[in-house]
Amino acid sequence: DLFPKMYDISDKTKFPAVYQSNHAGPQLFGPRKDDWTKPCPLEWTLEERKEKCISGQEAMYGTDILSRLEAIKVAVDPGFMFNCHGCIGNNLDVAKAPEVPPEPVQPSSASVDQPSSASSASTYAAAISTTV
């Protein structure tokens, strides 16, 4: 049993990151929730696997990092405008997302005073740093 030797599994609420993203497939699941040393059986139905196995995102990022990434996702995209299958936050309850009205579109001008995309990036970085 290499798993307990390779990873700290003393805290059963914090699953470590064990997979790399290049190994992620559409049916990726981590090990069983009741015994992290046993793989999620392929013969289980998808519903059984979702209920009884560590999710693919938890297996890829670990539960701590996944929680941080989900908090960043909610801070940057509170209306879940950018949501896709397998993406960070796709498993969050979109119905509970706050209603975010679209920002009014301002007429653009070719002026040099327009904010650059770098300033937009720094705005997002500021939002992210407040969630971490």
Contact of 69 with 49, CB cutoff 8 Å: no
pLDDT higher than threshold 70 for residue 28: yes
**Confidence at residue 10, expressed as pLDDT on a 0 to 100 scale:** 80
Per-residue b or e along 65-86, where b marks 16 or more CB atoms closer than 10 Å to that residue's CB: ebeebbebbbbbbeebeeeeee
| pLDDT, mean of residues 9-25 | 81
Across the range 98-106, mean pLDDT stands at 62
**Across all residues in the chain, what is the average pLDDT?**
77
For the range 27-33, what are the long-range contacts, defined as Cβ-Cβ under 8 Å and sequence gap of 24 or more? 28/56, 28/59, 28/60, 29/53, 29/54, 29/55, 29/56, 29/59, 30/54, 30/55, 30/56, 30/58, 30/59, 31/3, 31/59
CA distance 23 to 118: 33
pLDDT of residue 53: 94
Q: What's the mean pLDDT in 57-76?
A: 90
pLDDT at 13: 83
> Which pLDDT belongs to residue 102?
58
Q: Quick one: average pLDDT of 69-91?
A: 84
Q: Is the pLDDT of residue 111 over 60?
A: no
Q: Which helix (H) or strand (E) holds 75?
A: helix 63-76
Specify the pLDDT at position 99: 61
* pTM across the whole model: 0.64
